[in-house]
Amino acid sequence: MAIWHSTPTLEAINDNAAGCMPGYIGMQVTELGDDYLVGTLPVDRRTRQPFGILHGGASVVLAETLGSIAANLVVDTDKFYCVGQEINANHLRPVPEGEVTGVARPVHIGRSSQVWEIRISDPRGKLSCISRITMAVVPHGGQ
């Protein structure tokens, strides 16, 4: 059974991200499963660091974007919105080219916070980064 409160189309999700950071670096959400979200990011001039490998910050952008989208899909956005409180990432393997794929899955979905794990794999399917994001669930009108 799906965990999502709403299930927009992939087109709607990607259109929403097109004019900001994820769109600028070529990120795409590619799959919305019952309890996970998948996205891709190209390893190219926009996302590499000077040593010619995927920039760790680009991996974190992919992780945070997938975690944030997923967290907001779980709540009733007429009443709540989710914002990042903390994110960490362990960069395990360099990726010089191709496309990385991130998969976000919930660790904890609570009334006031959520924790998501995002696993990012290289084009061969090898784990290149693992990240965890904590999201605050904030009522509209409440700061």
The catalytic residues are 64
Positive or negative CA dihedral for 72, 61, 27, 40?
Answer: negative
Residue 45, both tokens: 């001039």
Distance (Å, rounded) from C-alpha 132 to C-alpha 21? 19
H/E stretch holding 67? helix 56-74
